[in-house]
Amino acid sequence: MAEAVTAGATRLLPGLPDEIVVWEILVRLPPKSVLRCRPVCRAWRRVTSTRDFLLAHHGMQPSLPVVYGYEKADTNYRNILAIDHRSTDTQVQHVARFDIDKLICVEASCDGLLVISMVWTSRRFSVCNPVTRQHALLPHPPDFSLFSVFGMYLHHPSGEYRLLLYRRSNGVSYVGYLLPDGKVGCYALALGSSQPPRYIGGPEPASELQFYTPVLVRDSLHWSKGIHSRLVVVFDTTAESFREMRVPTVPANSSLVQMDGTLGMCSCNDTMKVVDIWVLKDYQGEIWEHKYRIKLPVEEIRVQFGRWEDYWCVAVDSLDGDFLLLLSSDEWLFYVDSDGKLVDSSHCGGQELSACGIRLKQTLVPHTFFTALQDYAVNASPFI
């Protein structure tokens, strides 16, 4: 890390050692604040642009739940918002604004990168960094409607960021020249590579697959296999292999979450008034523990805000051994703690909010694969 601080006649801040300024102050700033401080002087730009600094800075950033914000007054835009209840400034952070004339949807997230799908006359996938506003299209077969994005991951042995794709049909299509065998199953696509997606198989039977947003724990992606299944599909991102894991018997309305570095499961009852939380106490032994049964503060929300919905988007934000439930509906976000107490609320007037299950850990780390992709651009469409 010492390479980020070079000897000079003038200190970065008078009265403080440069090591303190860089590794105790600047490294803890939000990404947008780092970008704003770079024009102060050449020394500040230099120390905040080294790879050591950028990696350390990324490591300091929280992993935040992402919420869609649909603007009611102007339906041509979609906002991507991050929820940070620890922030003393604002809880709802504006991450990106997209032109939704192209029907944009966030498909996956990894290390501050977002994979989005866009629909023009046909479906296209692209990758972007909302902090640096870099964007590029991904290579694709002519008929990508046969494919779904199951997740995105860093393949540590190669250093490549890869997409895990699933081809869900073996019917006639136009993909034959890229996938000559037309196999149903999972494919890996390395970002920036000129090679077509590589077939890696997948769990069987394929007809039962119903993957949702994955949870990354121990360098493996985890999905609930289906709404009636007691199995979790696990994808080892190093070996690029699949296995299955048992989960507790829970109602159909459940989802996987990360709970301070381990796997958790959140389940709502049919009336959306009770939430149960399980935690994987022993990962290797696949032993789950029922940790919480939370009765949501229905009457308090109804009396205080004059509303209670029959359906809420429920997300879990893990907070250093504790957590908050995030309930989103219409223009409102409500924060409920593990005791079922309403601890806070946010109102985003003019925007309809919806939690999407994606988490974002923002980054300023540069990625070389961007320039190898089609239509690479900065500060251009679909960003607004």
Residues of the chain with CATH 2.120.10.30: 61-378
Q: Is residue 7 very low, low, confident or very high in pLDDT (cuts 50, 70, 90)? A: very low
Q: Both tokens of residue 106?
A: 């966030």
pLDDT digits (tens, 9 = 90+) for 240-296: 999 998 887 766 667 888 887 889 888 887 677 888 899 999 999 999 999 889 998
Mean pLDDT of the chain: 82
pLDDT at 175: 43
Joined together, the tokens standing for residue 35 give: 């970008």
Asked if residue 174 has pLDDT above 50, the reply is no
Calpha distance 135→95 (Å, rounded): 14
Contact 119, 126 (CB under 8 A): no
Lowest-pLDDT range of 23-32, 86-95, 227-236, 255-264? 86-95
Q: What is the pLDDT of residues 180-197, one digit of tens each?
A: 456 788 889 999 988 888
Which tokens is 28 given?
């803890």
More confident residue, 376 or 124: 376
**Hey, what CATH topology would domain 61-378 get?**
Neuraminidase (2.120.10)
**Residue range 205-223, pLDDT digits in tens:** 555 556 678 999 999 999 8
- Give yes or no for residue 178 having a pLDDT over 50: no
Decide: 69 and 353 in contact? Cβ < 8 Å.
yes
pLDDT number for residue 229: 66
- Residues 4-9 have a mean pLDDT of 52
Of residues 122 and 13, which shows the higher confidence score?
13
Q: What per-residue confidence (pLDDT) applies to 1?
A: 53
Query: Over the stretch 68-96, which tens digit does the pLDDT of each residue have?
Result: 877 766 656 678 888 887 665 557 788 88
Q: What is the dihedral of CA 26, 31, 35, 41, to 10 degrees?
A: 0
pLDDT, residue 158, reads: 95
Cα distance between residue 276 and residue 197, in whole Å: 39
Amino acid at position 294, single letter:
I
pLDDT, mean of residues 15-35: 93
Q: What is the pLDDT of residues 335-384, one digit of tens each?
A: 899 899 998 888 777 777 777 778 899 999 999 999 999 889 999 888 88
Give the contacts of 2 (CB within 8 A, at least 6 positions apart).
Answer: none
pLDDT of residue 119: 65
* pLDDT of 171 over the 70 cut: no
- pTM of the predicted protein model: 0.86
Confidence grade of residue 104 (pLDDT, cut at 50, 70, 90) = confident
Q: In this predicted model, what pLDDT tens digit does every residue of 288-314 receive, in sequence order?
A: 999 889 998 888 888 887 766 666 777
Would you state the pLDDT for residue 144? Answer: 64
- ∠ CA 238-240-242 to the nearest 5 degrees? 120
Higher-confidence residue of 291 and 176: namely 291
Q: Return the structure tokens found at 280.
A: 């994987």
Amino acid occupying residue 361: K
